[in-house]
Structure 1
Amino acid sequence: MLKQLMISKKIEQRKAVLAELEEQERGLETRAEQIEAALAEAQTDEELAAVEEEVNKIEAEKEELKQKKASLEAEIAELEGELEQLNSKAPTNTNKERNDKKMTEKRAKQEYFTREVEDFYNELRTRLQARANGQVLPPGEAGAELIIPDIVVNRIRERIGDYTTLYPLVDKITAGGRVKLILDVDTGEATWVEQRAAIPEEDDSRLTAVEFDGFKVGRIVYIDNSLLEDSVINLDDYLTKRIARSIAKALDKAILLGEGSTNKQPEGIIPQIPAENQVSASAEYEALIPLLGMIDTGEDATGEIVCVVHRQTYYSKLANLTLHVDAAGKDVVVLPNLQQPNFLGLRVVFSNYMPKDKLLFGVFDKYTLVEREGTRIDMSGHYKFREDQTAVRGIGRYDGKPVMPKAFVLVDLVDETGE
């Protein structure tokens, strides 16, 4: 116990020194601003030489502070690891579980916050601070935009799944480049031949080739300037969460209602459903169940049928007490599962982009979403002076299409009178 207290005291002392170094860094930033003003006013060679000398001093001090901070941070991390190791030897299971969880979280953070990620956010912070100080990079200047490291892109993709309901259901393809992409989306059966014979090529006319473009989707995210002084962890959480959430909403809407290439969007499922797969029916199981037979996925019998519905429509039209007759001929009242909504065992997925009083049944892996590589963050040119906020822009490139529109059925729910 005494050793843990001693280590805790050391950590506290070193964090205090680290705070002093950070305060010195802020002082250097203030001096740098003053030097910029002096540089603008310098007229003679002597004045320029004096400014240059001061700039060199500031740069040297910055480098020295950077090395001291790196050494202190490494020492603090080592002490914290030693303290966690001592705490993990505590006798109670509760402490062990807690420490195991902390160690797992710490390992996950260490694996994510690599040097590449930290360099990216440090550069982003530097540019945001420059923008907040009124310094704007000229258009087209090298480095005016930042390419997100792959590990951050993957984190945004994972977080997109946290905020969407339809994105996880569709077939996703990641492709490089910005040219149009033509994919064979057929899942045809393989050909049997003698073991030494060549596999015959398919007739091109029998293939279903779909052309995909790459339309840009983006969101301007405002970052309060106080966050620029915060940790890389908090800046990453704030930025990736907001970019992922905004792109997620745009993708879910496009998957359902996208207006196609004319409006620089993916093609949505609902606009592409054939007329014969758009029907009206009453909100009764006996009227809705036969409509599932209209779903046509060709020769491919795999794929889960999912029901997509607006939340209000589900609770007002489907989630009610229903009387069934079991195998023994007895009436059985079935209560809806409000925690895990379903339609007679079929998964129900909510989407507020779904028109009310309509149901969409379908095999959603028959919708292909192409995600282009090169998600990026750049300076948006927007700065909200009154709110003391700086703006960045998160941008992705996607296209998508229902490659088999007959795999979906749109149902307009009407009452028994047909209204």
Structure 2
Amino acid sequence: MTLKQVMISKKIEQRQSALADLLLREEGFKQRSADLEAALNEAKTDEEISTVESEINAFEADKTDVTEKKSALEGEIETLEKELEQLNSQAPANNERGGLDMNKQQKRAASNKTEYFTREVEDFYSELRTRLEARANGQVLPPGEAGAELVIPDIVVNRIRERIGDFTTLYPLVDLVRAGGRVKLILDVDAGEATWLEQRGALPETDDSELTAVQFDGFKVGRVVYIDNSLLEDSVINLDDYLTKRIARSIAKAIDNAILNGTGASGKQPEGIIPAIPKENNVTAEPTYQDLIPHIGKIDTGEDTTGEIVVTVHRQTYYAKLATLTLHTNSAGTDVVVLPNLSQPNFLGLRVVFNNFMPKDKLLFGVYDNYTLVEREGTRVDMSGHYKFREDQTAVRGVGRYDGKPVKPESFVLVTLQEAPPGA
């Protein structure tokens, strides 16, 4: 990237930052307008009306100033981006990809706020805030609106999904399938070996009964989030952060628990790995390397030997049982100690993932590619019928739909750690 490209990128970054600040000021105008309207309704004397009028004039001047600056910045950004795009297209072929990638990264980082808080997102939170304020003020919404759900814009749904990954350890490891609709799905979850044949030959038809077809439903998971009424007076950014964070965190915990311990259709939730593990893969061992390592060999992923073996363990179990393990001697008879890397936990090089839904004193070795999680579209937010008047809080309900199954349970081994008897 040339110095001129760097300079233009810097200008774009500076102007996008200034634009984000203007958008925040613009968001505050809604509350100022409501406050001025209330003050005007309360004004009785000429002096009070005159004071409010002065504040209204100042408010209108601020709005005009922000609008003009916003328009000017948007024009400058558009011009600079066109100039930068032209320079990128003229860059040498061997540097073109790197230059474009660097520019994209800079632009994404600089315009994160402005790209996310689109008009669609602002309209969604504006409608949500209107309903919450009406509920907080004790107003009874019309029957058609009181329970009407607000469909979250896709960009907010994606933000919740990204934040689910911030609070879960297993969700990023499994085979994730996103699907629309509400009907049950039947998926072929096995990647069978392809068939060799003559170059003009026809592929043989396979009997459907040979397919590893697995049926998936879409069980509902949700969380009621209580929003303090003071947040209704805050910016859209703070309201969004509060709402998406709590919905994502609670759904993440439910997903992690279901992946490990889910009871399946009987409990209206995904099927867990631990209940499905075959009897021969459910073993007991002492917490020593020589007793634990052979059990990893019980993992069977079929003909497909790809996939990372991950160790899942309760945090307390790792520090109490695994982190203290040592290898006593090498081939020369010298004492050897393996110091644990506490900042990046591992078990002899295998990645260790903490999950406190794991029972204590148990280890789960497994290839999580062989657990399929179906995530249905249609995550939504709607109004709850509950309102905590005493605490000045309004309830909002976030709902998602998932199902999952360990499609190859023999890909997992559960080891129960058992201390050796005294004198053994």
Structure 2 counterpart of 1:74: 67
Match of 1:23 among 22, 25, 32: 32
| TM-score (norm. length: structure 1) | 0.79
Structure 2 counterpart of 1:168: 172
Structure 1 counterpart of 2:87: none
Counterparts of residues 7-156 of structure 1 (less than 5 Å): 22-28=31-37, 71-77=64-70, 105-139=109-143, 141=145, 144-156=148-160
Structure 2 counterpart of 1:60: none
Q: Within the alignment, does 1:362 sit opposite 2:366 as a pair? A: yes
CA shift, 1:288, in A, is: 0.6
Give the direction of change, closer, same or farther, for the CA distance of 1:182–1:334 in structure 2 (3 Å limit).
Answer: same
AA partner of residue 25 (structure 1): A
Structure 2 CA distance for aligned equivalents of residues 247 and 18 of structure 1: 29
Q: Within the alignment, does 1:267 sit opposite 2:267 as a pair? A: no
Cα RMSD, aligned residues only: 3.5
Structure 2 counterpart of 1:294: 298
Structure 1 CA distance for aligned equivalents of residues 350 and 359 of structure 2: 20
Partner deviation per Cα, 1:233-265 (whole Å, 9 max, x = no partner): 111111111100000001000000111101101
Counterparts of residues 404-415 of structure 1 (less than 5 Å): 404-415=408-419
Structure 2 counterpart of 1:204: 208
Question: Greater shift after overlay, 323-332 or 289-298?
Answer: 323-332
Structure 1 CA distance for aligned equivalents of residues 229 and 120 of structure 2: 23
CA shift, 1:204, in A, is: 1.6
Give the direction of change, closer, same or farther, for the CA distance of 1:354–1:19 in structure 2 (3 Å limit).
Answer: closer
Q: Is the 8 Å Cα contact of residues 361 and 410 (structure 1) preserved in structure 2?
A: yes
AA partner of residue 359 (structure 1): L
Counterparts of residues 388-407 of structure 1 (less than 5 Å): 388-407=392-411
Match of 1:219 among 200, 218, 223: 223
Structure 1 counterpart of 2:318: 314
AA partner of residue 408 (structure 1): F
Match of 1:241 among 245, 250, 258: 245
Structure 2 counterpart of 1:180: 184
Structure 1 counterpart of 2:236: 232
Structure 1 counterpart of 2:84: none
Structure 2 counterpart of 1:193: 197
Structure 2 counterpart of 1:303: 307
Structure 1 CA distance for aligned equivalents of residues 107 and 115 of structure 2: 12
Q: Is the 8 Å Cα contact of residues 159 and 241 (structure 1) preserved in structure 2?
A: yes
CA shift, 1:133, in A, is: 1.8
Match of 2:355 among 326, 351, 355: 351
CA shift, 1:25, in A, is: 2.1
SS in 1 for 2:183: coil
Structure 1 counterpart of 2:339: 335
SS in 1 for 2:182: coil
Give the direction of change, closer, same or farther, for the CA distance of 1:67–1:407 in structure 2 (3 Å limit).
Answer: farther
Structure 2 CA distance for aligned equivalents of residues 381 and 219 of structure 1: 13
| TM-score (norm. length: structure 2) | 0.78
Unaligned ranges ≥5, structure 2? 1-14, 43-56, 78-103
Structure 1 CA distance for aligned equivalents of residues 21 and 309 of structure 2: 57
CA shift, 1:224, in A, is: 1.0
Q: Is the 8 Å Cα contact of residues 174 and 373 (structure 1) preserved in structure 2?
A: yes
SS in 1 for 2:420: coil
Partner deviation per Cα, 1:361-417 (whole Å, 9 max, x = no partner): 100111111001000000011111111111100000000110000101111110112
CA shift, 1:108, in A, is: 1.1
CA shift, 1:80, in A, is: 7.8
SS in 2 for 1:198: coil
Q: Is the 8 Å Cα contact of residues 218 and 402 (structure 2) preserved in structure 1?
A: yes
Unaligned ranges ≥5, structure 1? 1-6, 34-63, 85-99
Structure 1 CA distance for aligned equivalents of residues 31 and 291 of structure 2: 69
SS in 1 for 2:297: helix
Structure 1 CA distance for aligned equivalents of residues 384 and 213 of structure 2: 37
AA partner of residue 234 (structure 2): D
Q: Is the 8 Å Cα contact of residues 14 and 76 (structure 1) preserved in structure 2?
A: no
Partner deviation per Cα, 1:85-122 (whole Å, 9 max, x = no partner): xxxxxxxxxxxxxxx99975441111111111111111
Structure 2 CA distance for aligned equivalents of residues 385 and 246 of structure 1: 24
CA shift, 1:72, in A, is: 4.6
Match of 2:385 among 381, 389, 394: 381
CA shift, 1:329, in A, is: 4.8
Q: Is the 8 Å Cα contact of residues 15 and 76 (structure 1) preserved in structure 2?
A: no
